[in-house]
Chains A and B, each alone.
Chain A
């Protein structure tokens, strides 16, 4: 089963990471799900694939009363992000899924009614949760063409989807401790998966203006404090995008 780690708490406002299942099959990519709670309302980000649903659901039950879930946020359309959708809707068929408008007719292939999908326009939108307001921040082409991150200005925390992801061993700690060592596990992924240098530069510019204490990706480990800036600077310099030769692709993978 997955474990849970509290990343932020101020009164009834909290962020909890659902992470690292020691029993996960090795052919499945490891994912982090996050629970954002304010008062008695909780939102789950990128709740994961259908195969890991039992493990995620058990951990969620341990951390919160799952009946307080009032919405799902999907950064993009990948199977490791949201193929469990139909199972979460068994918990509450009225749960809305906040995701890019681009996927509103693709994601119903994973389940849900027309009313399930709350489209986020390209420029992003605010999402109210209890006493706080979260912001869906555009991150298109990083890597998906319709892609959002979720910013909590009060907790100073950015859920960054696949940006910041690292392919780590299962027993790696959730918090980045040695940035230089960590980033070697992130480089190949970012070079290969991130589709556009222009999008990367634009994202780095916008995100560097936000007050962020923790940058929380969907794979790998959480960047805290000075490592947030270190990551943004590193990413700002990284050459990504469509690579020209099969050899270059192999090296980047």
Chain B
């Protein structure tokens, strides 16, 4: 998963795919949360505890979706910023080969403009905070899923369907974690 031997562009491609898969899972989580809420309402009094938990799911799902929107915007920013600086670096590498001639002519070669470097740095810091927030969301989600499973066990007539729902929720959360870890590693090591 630590793609330090890959080119920045390969890492960017991986980052973009990880962001897409997290966004997809976040959307599914939100749907599952809404499903759970409908089910809890149907159960009425018998599903009161489940209803509290399902509300937490919906809140968590919404939170995930919001951070995934931010993640997508940041990914676009990083794709733009980093591919721009790649073009510039490529040119700079070629120009460096005749740096002596430029110096003789009194022409100073430009380094990468600070604005694009700053943009990328800012986007990386923001990306890290989105990833951290999503990781915390996953931990919280796991606790909620576990409580939901226990709660489902108490239900006489809807045990199976509630347990299945809680399992789906847990699986969806588990599927997000590897992509979040990929994003985390790429952000730290692979985007320079």
**Partner-B contacts on A (CB < 8 A):** 1, 50-51, 53-55, 57-58, 61-62, 65-67, 86-87, 90-92
Contact = CB atoms under 8 A, between A and B. Distances in A.
Interface in B1-32: 7-10, 12-14, 16-17
Contacts of B98: none
Interface in B57-81: 75-76, 79-80
B188 interface: no
B116 to A, nearest CB: 10
**How many of chain B's residues touch chain A, expressed as a range?**
10 to 19
26 contacts: A1-B76, A1-B80, A50-B87, A51-B87, A53-B83, A54-B79, A54-B83, A54-B84, A57-B12, A58-B76, A58-B79, A58-B83, A61-B16, A61-B79, A62-B76, A66-B16, A67-B14, A67-B17, A87-B83, A87-B87, A90-B7, A90-B8, A90-B9, A90-B86, A91-B10, A91-B13
Contact of A65 (B9, B13, B75): B13
B100 to A, nearest CB: 23
A172 to B, nearest CB: 24
Contacts of B79: 54, 57-58, 61
A227 B90 CA distance: 43
Nearest to B10: A91
Interface of B: 7-10, 12-14, 16-17, 75-76, 79-80, 83-84, 86-87, 90
Contacts of B87: 50-51, 53-54, 87
Looking at B7, B9, B17, the one whose CB has the most chain A CB atoms below 10 A away is B9
Nearest to B72: A62
Contacts of A54: 79-80, 83-84, 87
A92 B10 contact: yes
Contacts of B14: 67
A87 B93 CA distance: 13
Given A53-B83, A62-B16, 4 more contacts: A58-B80, A65-B16, A90-B7, A90-B9
Contacts of A57: 9, 12, 79, 83
A87 B84 CA distance: 11
Contact of B12 (A1, A51, A61, A86): A61
A53 to B, nearest CB: 6
